[in-house]
Structure 1
Amino acid sequence: MTSSPLDIATLGGQTMGTTWSAKLVAGRNRDLHALHAGIQARLDTVVAQMSTWEPQSDISRYNRAAGGWQRLPPEFFNVLQAAQAIARSSGGAFDPTVGPMVELWGFGAGAHPQRVPAAAEIAAVAARVGWQRLELRPDGHEALQPGGLQLDLSAIAKGFGVDLATAWLRQAGIDAALVEVGGELAGYGRKPDGAPWQVLVESAPEEDDAAGLPPRVLALDGMAVATSGDRWHRFDAGGQRYSHTFDARLGRPVVSAAAAVTVVAEDAMHADGWATALTVMGAQAGLELAEREGLAARFLVRDGNGLRETFSGAFAARMEAGA
């Protein structure tokens, strides 16, 4: 009996306040409903564990806890451990304890109208923020709640959701797929014609209108890509643009953030987290860190002449290699 011909199937749905999609290579008689349900179930797991919008999620329960060691589900703990590692390597440019600050400025689950808080308010909240206050016990998947610590993993959880869905598709016998959650992507395997999955690197609104920069196309085969920047969520006040990306070191959103920062990595969780960290650091310091860490990163920044593009050596190598 011959195997059924392979087609590219497209699935999609809702998760984490955004959408997800998956293109996968499967036989024509494959049960796509089961594959869809499997992906949605993995993404629902991320929401149930790491969404601050869900009062009964594991992260919400941790944030409400009075103090002491809190046992976490393994997925939640793994993401938190990765977030801590990125925080340490970036000198706090990425900070998973930024929750109270996000709410103060009018972003996040407890959002009120976005505003610039008074200096005293910022100082009071800053005293409750700091990745150094978070202690982890890997053996028991435990995290210390020192009292008043509020985690926010929104800058890394979508990427992890991509990884979780991708891993499940592999286990389900899907040999090639491209998975996307809210703009974060991971791809593996080849399409039926033997070509890799190709994606266009996300840009800035003005770049979409042709800014003279060449489009950057990446081939994803066992790789992931994430983009952070100010085109998604921001507000303007007093002639200043504030992005939804926070610099916990300063107690405020990043001012005049890069239009887009893209990171390519082996998994979407790290690509997602590092894209945020490098956005906080800014193009110059971020590029220096990317070179030291061997990160494949692209920065798109605004200057007086429009948009300027810079990228790390690892990113240039990926473009040259077509992967």
Structure 2
Amino acid sequence: MMRILFSFAAVCLLGGCLREKSTVEAAGRTMGTTWSLRARAPFAAGLQADIQHQLDTWEAILSHWRPDSGLSRFNASASTGWIEVPTELVEVVELAQQIGADTGHALDITLAPVVDLWGFGAGGRRTSAPSEAEIAAAKALCGWQHLQARHEPPALRKAFPQLRINVSAVAEGWALDRLAKHLEAAGVTDFLLEIGGEVLARGGWRVGIQTPAAPPGEAAQMLLLKDQCLATSGVYRQHFTHDGRDHAHIIDPATGRPIEHGLASVSVIHAMASQADGFATALLVLGPAKGRMLAEKLGLQVVWFERAK
């Protein structure tokens, strides 16, 4: 059983205040998931291919699954000097580091060794929990403070060779923001853009927040997004059970362990998809008490799904 708790005021709930117009659509695959576009006016015939090209380019930079990506090459490097990387990777790293700073580092993109240890990274799944010694050893290879970024020329630097990063908590949101600017420059101004369930609206669009663990398409709450973005982070997609305990893929940087509190998912509404994406993960890590305190402090609009006790 779930409880839905709301802590926002600026989002309109559905009330028949929109007149639907016919839409044109495009879709494809990216970053291990799908993307889609719905627009209320025709767009150029080549726009879908253009969007796919942009996403393919960014995936080749930001992917932690592809060994040839810019991110993977940085991770594989043993150098502790400045390592040249694409400027897009610097932008995403700085974005994630700022959200980390704003949330007491509940978001830490250097947590890749711990994520891999628990079986939620590129190394493959596991069916049992790691030992305390393994967790401690993996945590010793992490730490946001050991990562630096610069723009001129674009480069990253790690304090020790084993430091690795994973920017998946913000990459989809960042890509949505960049694509929105591209669409607007192409004259597409009334659209709903989605990557992996994270959505960005220009104009007013009805969107649903899915019930945790429900079949795809089953929404617990419908909202009207007007020039806003919605991102959700939840514990119900990737997890494994061992000795009667469920281990989710959301890892707390402070403990090196999957979160164990009562939140099932957190959805953040924000003007920027990148911010909504990163804050949703960080608030889920923080949990119901600390998360709500921080959301109130930062003025965030949030929908919380909490497992009823």
Q: Name the TM-score, length of structure 2 as normaliser.
A: 0.87
Shift of 1:257: 5.4
List structure 1 runs of 4+ shifted beyond 4 angstroms: 206-210
Task: Note the C-alpha offset of 1:222.
Answer: 2.0
Structure 1: 5+ residue stretches without partners:
1-5, 190-195, 305-323
Instruction: Identify the residue that residue 170 of structure 2 maps to in structure 1.
Output: 156
- C-alpha contact (below 8 Å) 1:202/1:262 kept by paired residues: no
Contact 2:230–2:269 (Cα < 8 Å) also in 1? yes
Residue 165 (structure 1) aligned to one of 161, 168, 179: 179
Question: What is the match of residue 316 of structure 1?
Answer: none
**Cα–Cα, structure 1 residues 120 and 158, in superposed 2: closer, same or farther, change >3 Å?**
same
Asked if the contact 1:101/1:251 (under 8 Å) is kept, the reply is yes
Contact 2:192 2:202 in 1 (8 A): yes
Counterpart in the other structure of 1:218 = 223
Deviation at 1:7, TM superposition (A): 4.5
Q: SS of the counterpart of 2:210?
A: coil
* Among 276, 285, 290, the residue aligned to 2:290: 285
Structure 1 stretch displaced more, 167-176 or 52-61: 167-176
Q: Which amino acid aligns with 2:118?
A: W
The alpha-carbon distance between structure 1 residues 113 and 188, as it changes in their structure 2 partners (threshold 3 A), is: same
On the 8 A contact 1:105/1:114 being kept in 2, the answer is no
Q: Which amino acid aligns with 1:148?
A: Q
Is the CA contact (8 Å cut-off) linking 2:127 and 2:241 kept in structure 1?
no
Tell me the TM-score normalized by structure 1.
0.84
Contact 2:230 2:273 in 1 (8 A): yes
Whole-angstrom distance in 2 between the partners of 1:241 and 1:51: 27
The answer as to 2:30 corresponding to 1:15 is: yes
Q: For the Cα contact (< 8 Å) 2:127–2:242, is it kept in 1?
A: no
Shift of 1:122: 0.7
Q: Distance in 2 between matches of 1:164 and 1:55?
A: 24
Equivalent-residue separation in structure 2 for 1:207 and 1:18 (angstroms): 17
Deviation at 1:89, TM superposition (A): 1.5
Secondary structure of the equivalent of 2:249? strand
In structure 1, the residue matched to 2:112 is 99
Q: CA deviation at 1:207?
A: 10
Query: Deviations for 1:280-321, whole angstroms, at most 9, x for unmatched residues?
Result: 0001100000011111112111122xxxxxxxxxxxxxxxxx
Corresponding position: 1:268 with 2:273: yes
Equivalent pair of 2:210/2:217 in contact (CA under 8 Å): no
Deviation at 1:45, TM superposition (A): 2.1
Q: How many residues align?
A: 287
After TM superposition, the structure 1 = structure 2 runs for residues 133-148 of structure 1, keeping only pairs within 5 Å, are 133-146=146-159, 147-148=161-162
- Provide structure 2 residue ranges, at least 5 long, that are not aligned to the other structure: 1-20
Query: Aligned pair 1:302/2:300, yes or no?
Result: no
d(CA) in 2 for partners of 1:134 and 1:274? Answer: 20
Summarize the Cα distance change of 1:302–1:52 in structure 2 as closer, same or farther, 3 Å threshold. Answer: same
Matched residues in 2 for 1:98 and 1:202: separation?
27
Query: Of the two structures, which has the highest relative contact order with CA contacts closer than 8 Å and spacing of 6 or more?
Result: 2
| Per-residue CA distance 1:200-253 (angstroms, 9 max, x = gap) | 12322369999xxx9433222321110011121111112111111111211112
Distance 1:55 1:208, change over 3 A: closer
| C-alpha distance in 2 between matches for 1:80 and 1:197 | 30
Question: What is the CA-CA distance between 1:91 and the residue it aligns to?
Answer: 1.4
In percent, how many aligned pairs have the same letter? 38
Q: How far apart are the structure 2 equivalents of 1:61 and 1:152? A: 12
Deviation at residue 11 of structure 1 after TM alignment: 0.9
Question: Relative to structure 1, is the Cα distance of residues 58 and 118 closer, same or farther in structure 2, using a 3 angstrom cutoff?
Answer: same
Q: 1:266 to 1:209 in 2, by over 3 A?
A: closer
- Residue pair 1:52, 1:60 contacting (<8 A) in 2 also: yes
Instruction: Supply the AA of the counterpart residue of 2:62.
Output: M
Cα distance, 1:137 vs. partner?
A: 2.2
